[in-house]
Structure 1
């Protein structure tokens, strides 16, 4: 890591880390009786730790100028390790949260272990910790290979990785201390939001600068999706988190919006976070790693472009379908419902394009578990987008909303689509990065796949049953016109499904642990000698504009 930096770049790292340490020290000193003090201490410790890492290699010889003729893969390697670490942590919290619904005493009388605090810690750990690190690592890999250009800065990728993971740690620990902005995605503290803006703008600058320096005139479609993800998430984050802090020494803040305007802003953000963080970014991953692994060109490059623009424009209007039967104006609800139904067209275009790409490679799907991860991801993407459009229809939403059906839908996308394509991409990427012919154990990849698939199916089917039963019980009336079932009776009816949900989540977690072990052993058994960096290579055959 440090050996790849010049002395001037090492000095710049020390300056940046010292600045973070000073800010952390100031927060720790001014907010001693507030969670902001804890977060200041975390920032201080993290930056001091990284300072020692830089100092340990500060007097290493200057790297050869020839390094600039090779791809810059060190940040990608660290991003992969962080991805798998967050996968285990985030999914462990998810199993704990699921178990709490079946056995509430698992809080162990600890306030930080309550459902209300563990749940946002789980969602942030999985979505932003696991998913975000996967997107950063794979995007930097795809960007370099498809543009045949090295990343423009040697320090900025490390700043993005360090800064982004510091944000995730601050967010998760803040939730455990009970500090949020009280929104659907339990937004973290105001100072964490400002820090993320700095990190994200740096990430965007890396991407734009690399594309500007590209040696391949064509911008491959995966980069379109990654760029949309980076740019739109920046806009969403800024507008959804406009807030006024109580004071500079206090973690609490108040949103600039209120009432129905706040609800609309929240779901404009919430649904487009799904659209561009959990869809566009991972479609970029799909459009590179699936054809690469299958050894086949994209079935229709033109269709992938049409799908991109359809998703980009239509998804932006779909958020109001989360607010049916509320104070939101009826025409806005209808607009969200209409665009949500239309959204099925570009979404299925992407899913169908991915599956059609496997024509002629189905024999590989049978024998290659890594490719099977990607195939199953494409199937779940198609199923989840159909279900999302269906649930946006107002009469259907009257049954599904506030029930576990929504939980089933979310996890069909999170486990079946996002996690599956991520694991497939990582199993492809790890041997390439560490110069291995294959993973440490192909059998463990198979084991991981079947644990993940079984866990997803059990989880989703349990929540489908639970949600539909909930919805029906809540709207069942007796002959006198009153509700047949009390709310507590509906909760009691959910108990066996919550047990099944916990079992499904546990299976998925076991698969993630197996995958993390496999990745770690692949890294440990990589050749010990200094590895020659990969030179600039021609763009993969599928990345060039193919004939339709």
Structure 2
């Protein structure tokens, strides 16, 4: 790949793949000289991939959030960047989205899924190689994607900008992930498949289908980082937003609901309020979400019936979504004193609240008359970040603060006070960011539809851009506060893992029954 490439991007990516391959060869070769494995290893949980996945999650958090604050600053201070192509807004923005969605969110999902799968099945991962293939292969995809964007290589598809060879590689990794999950479930010692595993499986399976269909493309040649999608026109737009919204549905919702349904009961010491409701919510979300992507294309060339279908299912989706949020909050009945005293549990509670708020807002914005005001405005940006900051990031941090001490053989984080500081920085930053974007979006929408007595627009587009300045400043401040909290989290996790006790080993299977 590196030698035959005729495109600079592909040559660089070939070198990256070759370097990873050589490192793995030396790693495996060095293992030949290790001491013989413990005789009882197959009766113990295999947590090493989870620990490494947590480290990668934290690294990508700093990358994705750091670039996000940079991009937010550019909208207020356009001159705050070197005049290099790689530092332009158009190249940095997909680095931010990919770094957060796939790097931060994806690694968190993979790491926690390995942990949850073993504990709820009371079974060790099916083998010791596949988890590492999944983790290293997935992060190679992420690295290929972000470096390609910086060098100008993109398919120009929202949340799917990586080129064809990276997409093919991700399919291989994702199939490996799915097979590993199913093999481990087949070996379970717990008859019941806990609901968290249903959500994780929906995340793995549906994302694979979405990824394959949306990224069907013909390469210009096998040695070039350039391709053309097989879809065009209205069909391309429909497939893109079928993928785009369901990436939100099954990557940023289903997988993290699995995380919530495991770590919230474990941390609070309370069972799920209604297990039957969690199952009903799962099937409602799985069925309704797949139809709602067309609400992104209101007032476009998409057929009117398709727009209406997306709007209708978006409103119906509110029922299973609120059922999940309400089920999570009701689980804390009898444990509110723990929410008051435990910042980690507060992260999970706030995540459930923001999940309920953002799903209501999503259904509300899908209604066609409301969408006529919000479409193309920063209101949509505020909605997306109420979900990613308030829901996704909060539940990830709550899970990390639960997992890191456990896997390090400690009772709590190295600095509980730092967890408290992180919580308040994250909540404050999220509220400043989201409220600023809500106000910005409503202001934009109203300015764009205000007419004078003669029927002409009262405000020019430039005036609407100038009116955004104070809101963009607030957005940058909110993002900086959230990033500061993430830096504290990384420091705290590193300190906790570095001071791990001798108990930080793979736990016996009998130590923790299925939750």
In which range does the TM-score fall when normalised by the shorter chain? over 0.9
* Partner Cα distance (2:98, 2:23) in 1: 24
Structure 1 range deviating more: 360-369 or 43-52:
43-52
TM-score w.r.t. length of structure 1: 0.93
Aligned pairs, number: 515
Q: Is 1:534 aligned to 2:507, yes or no?
A: yes
* Partner Cα distance (1:530, 1:506) in 2: 37
User: CA contact under 8 A between 1:459 and 1:505: conserved in structure 2?
Assistant: yes
Q: 3-state SS of the aligned residue for 2:221?
A: coil
Q: 1:372 aligns with which of 304, 327, 346?
A: 346
Q: Is 1:44 aligned to 2:7, yes or no?
A: no
* Partner Cα distance (2:396, 2:80) in 1: 31
User: CA contact under 8 A between 1:351 and 1:379: conserved in structure 2?
Assistant: yes
* Partner Cα distance (1:473, 1:115) in 2: 25
Q: 3-state SS of the aligned residue for 1:65?
A: coil
Q: 3-state SS of the aligned residue for 1:181?
A: coil
Q: Is 1:247 aligned to 2:221, yes or no?
A: yes
Q: Which residue of 1 aligns with 2:296?
A: 322
Q: Is 1:504 aligned to 2:483, yes or no?
A: no
* Partner Cα distance (2:6, 2:503) in 1: 47
* Partner Cα distance (2:130, 2:374) in 1: 45
User: CA contact under 8 A between 1:148 and 1:538: conserved in structure 2?
Assistant: no
Q: Which residue of 1 aligns with 2:380?
A: 406
How far the C-alpha of 1:32 sits from its partner, in A, is: 5.0
* Partner Cα distance (1:399, 1:532) in 2: 55
How far the C-alpha of 1:538 sits from its partner, in A, is: 6.6
Change (3 A) 1:537 1:239: same
Q: 3-state SS of the aligned residue for 2:510?
A: coil
User: CA contact under 8 A between 1:145 and 1:537: conserved in structure 2?
Assistant: no
Q: 3-state SS of the aligned residue for 2:218?
A: strand
Q: Which residue of 1 aligns with 2:130?
A: 156
Q: Which residue of 2 aligns with 1:209?
A: 183
* Partner Cα distance (1:94, 1:51) in 2: 35
* Partner Cα distance (2:205, 2:155) in 1: 23
Q: 3-state SS of the aligned residue for 1:105?
A: coil
How far the C-alpha of 1:183 sits from its partner, in A, is: 1.2
For structure 2, list consecutive stretches of 5 or more residues without a partner in the other structure: none
Q: Which residue of 1 aligns with 2:492?
A: 518
How far the C-alpha of 1:540 sits from its partner, in A, is: 4.7
1:172-187 correspondence runs (5 A): 172-187=146-161
How far the C-alpha of 1:531 sits from its partner, in A, is: 4.6
* Partner Cα distance (1:397, 1:33) in 2: 42
User: CA contact under 8 A between 1:35 and 1:251: conserved in structure 2?
Assistant: yes
Q: Which residue of 2 aligns with 1:69?
A: 43
User: CA contact under 8 A between 2:409 and 2:503: conserved in structure 1?
Assistant: no
User: CA contact under 8 A between 1:39 and 1:170: conserved in structure 2?
Assistant: yes
How far the C-alpha of 1:52 sits from its partner, in A, is: 3.2
User: CA contact under 8 A between 2:407 and 2:505: conserved in structure 1?
Assistant: no
Change (3 A) 1:254 1:79: same
TM-score w.r.t. length of structure 2: 0.98
Q: 3-state SS of the aligned residue for 2:228?
A: strand
Q: Note the alpha carbon deviations across 1:122-157, whole angstroms, 9 max, x for none.
A: 000000000000000000100000000000111110
Q: Note the alpha carbon deviations across 1:171-222, whole angstroms, 9 max, x for none.
A: 0101111111111224201000000000000000010001111110000000
Q: Is 1:31 aligned to 2:8, yes or no?
A: no
Q: Is 1:466 aligned to 2:440, yes or no?
A: yes
How far the C-alpha of 1:369 sits from its partner, in A, is: 0.3
Q: Note the alpha carbon deviations across 1:40-81, whole angstroms, 9 max, x for none.
A: 111112222333333344301220231000000000000011
Q: 1:219 aligns with which of 153, 175, 193?
A: 193
Q: 2:271 aligns with which of 286, 297, 302?
A: 297
Q: 3-state SS of the aligned residue for 2:455?
A: coil
* Partner Cα distance (1:337, 1:111) in 2: 39
Q: Which residue of 2 aligns with 1:277?
A: 251
Q: Which residue of 2 aligns with 1:170?
A: 144
* Partner Cα distance (1:49, 1:539) in 2: 35
Q: 3-state SS of the aligned residue for 1:244?
A: strand
Q: Note the alpha carbon deviations across 1:16-54, whole angstroms, 9 max, x for none.
A: xxxxxxxxxxx2212254311111111112222333333
For structure 1, list consecutive stretches of 5 or more residues without a partner in the other structure: 1-26, 544-548
How far the C-alpha of 1:296 sits from its partner, in A, is: 0.2
1:78-477 correspondence runs (5 A): 78-477=52-451
CA RMSD of aligned residues (A): 1.1
Change (3 A) 1:32 1:253: closer
* Partner Cα distance (2:7, 2:320) in 1: 51
Q: Note the alpha carbon deviations across 1:438-484, whole angstroms, 9 max, x for none.
A: 11000000011011101000000110010000011111111111111
Q: 3-state SS of the aligned residue for 1:46?
A: helix
